[in-house]
Amino acid sequence: MAEREEQHILVISHNIFSPVTAMGKSLMSMFSGVRRENIAQLFFHSEIPTSDICTNYFRITDENVLKSIFTRKPLYRIYGSDDIKKKTVNPRTDTGIKARIYQMARKKTALNYLVRDLGWKMGIWNSAELNRWVSNFSPNVIFFASGDYVFSYRIAYVISKKFGIPIVFWCCDDYYIRRKKKSLLDKIHYNSLMKWARLVSERSKEMIVISDKMKKDYSEIFKCSITVLRISAEENPFSIPFDKRNGIVYVGGLGVNRMAPIMELGREMKKQAPSQYIDVYSNDKNSEIKAILTEENGFRFHGEASAEEVSQIIGKAKFVLYTEAFDDKSKQRTRYSLSTKIGESLRSGACIIAYGPRDISSIEYIADADAAIILKSAAELPQTVTDNSAGGCEKCTRCINNALALAEINHDRRKNEEAINTIFESAIS
C-alpha cells in the first residue's frame, strides 16, 4: 500500500488489536497495510497485546480509573514491542471474579452505562503520562472506534482538541438511532451519547460505516462525510473443493440471543437427520449455554478456537452456518451489523447457510448477492444439508461462486487498504 510518510495514526478504542476477538480482528483488518511504527493504540479493555501490527500501546481500564478515585493517582500500563505475547490465545487479563464482575457491569442497561461513565468522570484518565505518551508519538490523525459508552467519545474529543488533530470516526454497529418506549435513564444515556457523538463528528473529517443502510440513516444525523468500508478478509489457505468437504459448523459468538435460532436448527437436525450434528466453536463460557449445546440437541460443542484453527475449520467444512435472532430487541441491536465472520465465510469456499431476519443488514447483504442459502424456517436445514451432501450441489456451487465474487469486491484487503489510506491522507491534508 502506498503510504505517506507523515501518517501517524492514534487508534482510540475499547478493544485491543487481536487476531482472536471479533473487534480485535476488525481493527487489524483496517490497519493491515500501515507500518507498525505509524500506529499507536490507546485502549480501555483489560487485554494484553498479542499482535505486533502495533508496538506502542497505552492501556487504561475500568479498574484503573476506579482505583484512581481513591488514590488520586493515575493508573495505566504502557506496552512496547517486548511486551507482545503473540502465542497467547486469549488476550484478556481479567479472570475469575474480576471477569464475572466485568461481564455483569457490561450488561446493556441504562444504569450500567451511566454508572460506568460516572466512574470515568470521577477517576483520573487525563494524566501527564498519557499526554506525554501522545506527544511523543506525535499523531496527526485519530482513528476512533466508537461504541455505546460515553467516556470513550469524551476522551477522543479531548485529545483531538488538545493536540489539534482531526478524527476519522469508525462505527460498526448501531448506537445512534433513538429507540421507542425507553425509560428516563435510557433517555439520559442516549442524550449524553448523542451530545458527545456529535462533538466527535464535528472534529471528524470522515465517518466510516459498514453498510449502505447505515450510511443512509447516519447521513441524516451527522454532518461529516460518510464512507462505506466493509471488513477485509484474507483468502482461506485451507480451502478445499466442495466435494471433499464434510460437516456443518457454527463459529463465533452466541450473544444477542443467537442461541434461540441456533437451538431451533439443532433440534430440527436431531429430529430429521439424527446422524448429523452442528459443530459449534465459540469462546462463550456461559455454563448454561454449554449445557444446552449437546449431542442430544443436535450439537457438538468444541469451545474456543484460535484464528488459524477457525480458518482450517471453515476451510474444510461443507456448510458454514450464520444466524441472527428474530425477536425485536435483538433485531434493533443487529439491524446494521455486518459480522467479522461474514467476510471470512464468504472467502471460505464453504456454502453459507443463513437463518435470520431478512430485513437486517447482514442477511440482506448476502441474500441480495445470492451468496448463501437463506432458510425461511429451521425445518429447512436438515433437508438442505442432506440434499447437498448427497450430491445435489448445484445451488451450493452457485452460492459459493457468488460468495467469492462478493468477497473480491467488498472484502479484499488490498482494495480496502487503498481506500482507508485515501481517507487518512484526506483527513491529514
Mean pLDDT of 233-261: 92
Between helix 62-71 and helix 110-122 the angle, nearest 10°, is 50
Can you say whether the dihedral through the CA atoms of 380, 382, 383, 387 is positive or negative? positive
250 phi and psi, to 5 degrees?
-120, 125
Give pLDDT tens digits for 126-179. Answer: 999 999 999 999 999 999 999 999 999 999 999 999 999 999 999 988 888 866
- Report the pLDDT value the prediction gives residue 86, as an integer from 0 to 100: 78
For residue 122, pLDDT beyond 70: yes
Element spanning 93, H or E: none
Mean pLDDT of 207-233: 92
- Give the separation between CA 307 and CA 300, rounded to whole angstroms: 20
- Report the pLDDT value the prediction gives residue 253, as an integer from 0 to 100: 87
Integer angstrom CA distances of residue 170 from 51, 252, 393, 395: 21, 22, 39, 36
Mean pLDDT of 232-256: 92
Where residue 37 falls (left for φ over 0; alpha for ψ -120 to 50; beta otherwise) is alpha
Where exactly are the structural domains of the chain? 9-232+412-428, 242-410
Where residue 349 falls (left for φ over 0; alpha for ψ -120 to 50; beta otherwise) is left
For residue 1, pLDDT beyond 50: no
The answer to whether 9-232+412-428 and 242-410 have equal CATH topology is yes
pLDDT class of 19 with cuts at 50, 70, 90: confident
Give pLDDT tens digits for 374-388. Answer: 999 999 999 888 877
User: Is residue 326 a contact partner of residue 260, using CB atoms and an 8 Å limit?
Assistant: yes
For residue 102, pLDDT beyond 60: no
Lowest mean pLDDT across 105-119, 289-303, 393-407: 105-119
Mean pLDDT of 25-50: 92
DSSP 8-state code for residue 80 = -
Tally of residues, the chain: 429
Is 180 or 332 the better-scoring residue by pLDDT? 332
Q: Which of 362, 351, 357 is nearest to 385 (CA)?
A: 351
- Give the separation between CA 375 and CA 323, rounded to whole angstroms: 10
Q: How many CB atoms lie within 10 A of CB 52?
A: 11
pTM for the predicted model, two decimal places: 0.86
For residue 187, pLDDT beyond 80: yes
pLDDT class of 180 with cuts at 50, 70, 90: low
- Report the pLDDT value the prediction gives residue 182, as an integer from 0 to 100: 76
Q: Which of 163, 150, 147, 135 is nearest to 199 (CA)?
A: 150
- For residue 335, give every residue at least 6 positions away whose Cβ sits within 8 Å of its Cβ, in sequence order, or none: 174, 213, 359, 360, 361
For residue 2, pLDDT beyond 50: no
Domain boundaries 9-232+412-428, corresponding CATH code:
3.40.50.2000
- Report the pLDDT value the prediction gives residue 125, as an integer from 0 to 100: 97
- Give the separation between CA 226 and CA 301, rounded to whole angstroms: 41
For residue 290, pLDDT beyond 90: no
pLDDT class of 339 with cuts at 50, 70, 90: confident
- Give the separation between CA 24 and CA 28, rounded to whole angstroms: 6
- Report the pLDDT value the prediction gives residue 90, as an integer from 0 to 100: 67
Give pLDDT tens digits for 407-423. Answer: 999 999 999 999 999 99
User: What value does the mean pLDDT of the chain take?
Assistant: 90
Helix boundaries (H) for 40-149:
62-71, 96-105, 110-122, 128-137
User: Is residue 149 a contact partner of residue 122, using CB atoms and an 8 Å limit?
Assistant: no
**What is the residue type of 412?**
D
User: Is residue 400 a contact partner of residue 319, using CB atoms and an 8 Å limit?
Assistant: no
CA 189 to chain centre: 22
Is 345 or 308 the better-scoring residue by pLDDT? 345
Fold of 242-410: Rossmann fold (3.40.50)
- Give the separation between CA 231 and CA 171, rounded to whole angstroms: 12
Place of cell 451432501: 389
For residue 257, pLDDT beyond 70: yes
78 phi and psi, to 5 degrees?
-100, 130
- Give the separation between CA 374 and CA 303, rounded to whole angstroms: 26
378 phi and psi, to 5 degrees?
-60, -30
For residue 299, pLDDT beyond 60: yes
